[in-house]
């Protein structure tokens, strides 16, 4: 094949191969009669398989994620009756690694030669991970907005119950919302991991300040934890966890009523920090929640990934007790 005109060059077969390699495209052909694939070296590398002259659909299917396996088989079979180009995204397993692949080709037997269809594989793992991150961020932002509205409503009720006049209520509410703003800044990750380390007790005090005050029932929140430095990355994650627990308490637990109290205590051993969140005097619990909501999953994941730790819930008659366990070596990060 050649190109004509000024400055043109002659295209050779190796030029096409170089273009394919530069685009990280893997080539395949599928014999629909024998149900076998012939693939280039890049395709076998993408699938984590040793090169072979051909490979059966079943051999490839063994590497497809079990949740996608039937869908991929049905999709490939269905492409023969679908006109136009098609694209199928699915997961494959390489040991513990999950990789996303996009298979693309022409449907309705377009371009078929001697019962052989042709197409490409692309590694779209990075794109899928970015999409999942965006979905997670959107879900987290939606969850936080709903929580903030619920907290603002709860703080309004708290201020109203303790105020003697409209002016007192407005002053108390403004103070609480201002404190809530300071606490929310700790939940928001800073660009470039900026910020300074804080003491654990100071961090907890700032986060819980919006839910206490100077009224008659002030002092219902007690914080007694070891003097321990918290790193920049740790502060954001821990703030997110405490913010979620406080939100739930304002909506359903001890902080939703005047008589409710909260005790946050901590203890250290050689390797771990344990923080206990103990509520008392809240509304009676009719049934133990399943803790399957977005917020519960979010803080469980945060505790595991950031602190190599976990949390447990104990729904006692006096109130909820949550135990947070964190690896000390992760706290200063």
Question: Among the ranges 3-7, 207-211, 287-291, which has the highest mean pLDDT value?
Answer: 207-211
**Does the pLDDT at position 256 exceed 90?**
no
Q: Report the candidate in 212, 215, 225 with the shortest Cα–Cα distance to residue 255.
A: 212
Q: pLDDT by residue (tens digit) across 176-222?
A: 666 666 655 654 444 444 344 568 888 888 888 877 754 544 578 99
Neighbours of 155 (CB within 10 A): 22
**Does the pLDDT at position 228 exceed 80?**
yes
Helix axes 200-208, 232-252, angle to 10 degrees: 40
**Does the pLDDT at position 262 exceed 90?**
yes
Cα 224 → chain centroid: 31
**Does the pLDDT at position 263 exceed 80?**
yes
Q: Report the candidate in 296, 202, 289, 294 with the shortest Cα–Cα distance to residue 241.
A: 296
Phi, psi of 245 (to 5 degrees): -65, -40
Alpha helices in 5-112 (DSSP H): 13-22, 41-47, 57-61, 66-78
Q: pLDDT by residue (tens digit) across 85-113?
A: 788 889 999 888 889 988 888 776 666 77
Contact, 221 vs 191, CB < 8 A? no
pLDDT of residue 187: 47
More confident residue, 3 or 147: 147
pLDDT of residue 321: 93
Neighbours of 234 (CB within 10 A): 21
Q: What is the mean pLDDT of residues 230-238?
A: 74
To the question of pTM greater than 0.75 for the whole model, the response is: no
Question: Which H or E element spans position 84?
Answer: none
**Could you give the CA distance from residue 121 to residue 91 in angstroms, rounded to a whole number?**
12
Average pLDDT, the chain: 78
pLDDT of residue 172: 66
Question: Among the ranges 5-9, 137-141, 229-233, 281-285, which has the highest mean pLDDT value?
Answer: 281-285
Cα distances (angstroms) measured from residue 179 to each of 26, 185, 187 = 56, 10, 13
| pLDDT band per the 50, 70, 90 thresholds, residue 265 | very high
pLDDT of residue 191: 47
**Does the pLDDT at position 333 exceed 70?**
no
What are the beta bridge partners of residue 122?
Answer: 102
Contact, 104 vs 123, CB < 8 A? no
Tell me how long the chain is: 333
pLDDT of residue 2: 47
Spell out the domains of the chain, with CATH numbers in brackets. Answer: 13-123 (3.30.450.20), 129-331 (3.30.565.10)
What are the beta bridge partners of residue 278?
Answer: 263, 321
pLDDT of residue 325: 93
**3-state SS, residue 126:** helix
| pLDDT band per the 50, 70, 90 thresholds, residue 76 | confident
């Amino acid at each position: 094949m050649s190109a004509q005109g000024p400055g043109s060059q002659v295209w050779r077969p190796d030029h096409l191969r170089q273009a394919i390699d530069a685009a990280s495209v893997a080539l395949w052909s599928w014999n629909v009669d024998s149900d076998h694939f012939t693939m280039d070296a890049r395709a076998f590398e993408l699938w984590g398989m040793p090169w072979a002259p051909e490979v059966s659909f079943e051999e490839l299917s063994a590497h497809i994620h079990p949740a996608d396996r039937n869908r991929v088989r049905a999709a490939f079979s269905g492409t023969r009756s679908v006109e136009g180009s098609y694209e199928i995204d699915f997961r494959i397993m390489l040991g513990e690694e999950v990789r996303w692949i996009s298979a693309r080709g022409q449907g309705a037997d377009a371009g078929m030669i001697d019962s052989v269809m042709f197409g490409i594989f692309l590694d779209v793992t990075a794109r899928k991970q970015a999409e999942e991150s965006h979905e997670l961020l959107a879900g987290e932002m939606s969850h936080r907005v709903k929580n903030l509205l619920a907290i603002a409503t709860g703080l309004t009720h708290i201020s109203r119950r303790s105020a003697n006049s409209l002016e007192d209520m407005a002053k108390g509410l403004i103070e609480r919302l201002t404190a809530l703003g300071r606490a929310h800044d700790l939940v928001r990750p800073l660009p470039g991991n900026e910020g300074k380390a804080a003491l654990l007790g100071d961090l907890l005090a700032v986060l819980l300040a919006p839910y206490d005050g100077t009224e008659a029932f002030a002092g219902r929140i007690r914080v007694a934890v070891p003097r321990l430095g918290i790193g920049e990355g740790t502060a954001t994650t821990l703030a997110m966890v405490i913010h979620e627990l406080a939100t739930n308490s304002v909506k359903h637990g001890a902080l939703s009523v005047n008589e409710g109290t909260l005790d946050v205590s901590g203890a250290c051993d050689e390797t771990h920090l344990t923080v206990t969140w103990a509520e008392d005097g809240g509304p009676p619990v009719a049934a133990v929640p399943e803790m399957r909501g977005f917020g519960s999953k979010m803080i469980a994941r945060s505790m595991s990934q950031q602190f190599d730790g976990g949390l447990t819930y104990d729904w006692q008659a006096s109130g909820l007790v949550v135990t947070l366990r964190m690896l000390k070596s992760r706290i200063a990060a």
